[in-house]
Amino acid sequence: MWQTLPLGPAHFDLSPYNCVSSHAGNPLLISREALCSESWFDSTRCNPSSNRRALLVEARHQFEQAALPEERAAFEEFTTRSAHWLEDYALYQALRDSQGDLPWFAWPTPLRDRKASALNHARKTLSDARAQIRFEQFLFFRQWNNLRQAANARGIRMFGDVAIFVAHDSADVWSHRECFQLDKHGQPTVVAGVPPDYFSETGQRWGNPLYDWEKHEEEVIALWADRMRTQATLFDLVRIDHFRGLDAHWAIPAAEPLPAAGRWVPTPGDKLLTALRERCGTLHLVAEDLGVITESVDNLRRKHHLPGMQVLQFGFDGDPNNRHLLHAHDPLNLVYTGTHDNNTTLGWFNSLPHEVKDQVLGYFGYPAEPMPWPLLRFALASVANIAILPMQDVLGLDGEHRMNTPGTSTGNWQWRFDWAQVSEETANRLAHFTWRYGRTTSDCSER
């Protein structure tokens, strides 16, 4: 199983949980090499090292000139099937570019408020930019589906992630203002966040606008169903980030800068999850049930038979009944050494006080192998049905390589790896432990 972060086009902070669309794919993930190998792309005019924007523009021109009828039909099928989100997204992106990347709520009032005459004029004047955006989305979904098919053919399932809230400056909010708690100028009256927890002593103020469940419950459910149907075309199962927000969400008055000024407000999560199951077919969901988890949140997850998450790094607070400890794991759940919001396991261990380090090593029987391998090995040994190992942990990397530090807005989401980092020793060790703990049908005993 391969779990990814959300794949949408991010803002300048690069956060995949703060995208300009909850449907669209990030054009930066379009493979240059795969693009240049298309039958309709003249290889003499394809330079994989050229500017990405120029390459994508050239690709569209080549497609319009040389694509076969079946390829044109695939493009038409995609744009027709995706029109319910693609047309608004293409117009939003074209307008945003024409407005110097200003957010939609800073556009001229007729565009901000989606006046019909202003939108019709924009569609005409920005027709070429809209066509380019549609084409790039066609490429993204085409390449991703090819990747998913290749993975599935090798017995690998694709595991996605969907943010519970959407970005204020997004095509979703601009085109569905009625679904969010906004004033007449398009500004949120309340915003999302969380109170103090493991990840932040002061809490977090995310700033996302909150859904208007009270006035527009059916419209919000329809918006969610559309989002999840798109995810179902990309993934075999999907994690709902911040699942506890489906039981109650932390609402912070927009004028208040401190997260502690918020309060818990009930969410109709039971009705939403029931509707998603009815409207989205075979949609396999996972609940990110970390943070302040109450009995009510746990009951909601269990009622809908959703796996939750248990994270080994969270187990060492001195409580022998801590649900993240190995002996407390539930087969229904997923086990992680850490998540994208945690430090790497090596970075986490190195930062622990001496007495907590001893507690960790003692719990695992003072293993001889160096960190982070004890936690990787015991994650694979867990009774949890699915074990997810962050790539940084597999590579044994320290805290300089963490993906995200919650509560901060700079320096995140930039980590990358190269296949040259994956040594034969690492591959053999991972293969052996995967086989040893019954997580593969391949016989790796000799490795």
Catalytic residue among 88, 341, 393, 398: 341
Report the Cα 247 to chain-centroid distance in Å: 20
Taking only the tens place, the pLDDT of each residue in 206-255 is: 999 999 999 999 999 999 999 999 999 999 999 999 999 999 999 999 99
Helix (H) or strand (E) holding 23: none
Whole-prediction pTM value? 0.94
Catalytic residue among 212, 241, 393, 398: 241
pLDDT of residue 447: 45
Catalytic residue among 288, 289, 393, 398: 288
The residue ranges of every structural domain in the chain are 19-157, 176-305, 307-447
241 is catalytic: yes
13 is catalytic: no
Confidence of residue 408 (pLDDT cuts 50, 70, 90): confident
Helix (H) or strand (E) holding 359: helix 354-363
Taking only the tens place, the pLDDT of each residue in 38-72 is: 999 998 888 777 889 999 999 999 999 999 999 99
58 is catalytic: no
Going by their DSSP bridges, the two strands 263-266 and 248-253 should be labelled as antiparallel
Taking only the tens place, the pLDDT of each residue in 344-353 is: 999 999 999 9
What residues have CB less than 8 Å from 333, skipping those under 6 apart?
307, 308, 309, 310, 384, 385
Instruction: Report phi then psi at 19, rounded to 5.
Output: -95, 160
329 closest CA partner among 292, 383, 375: 383
For the chain, helix, strand, coil in percent to 5 are 45, 10, 40
Instruction: Report phi then psi at 91, rounded to 5.
Output: -70, -45
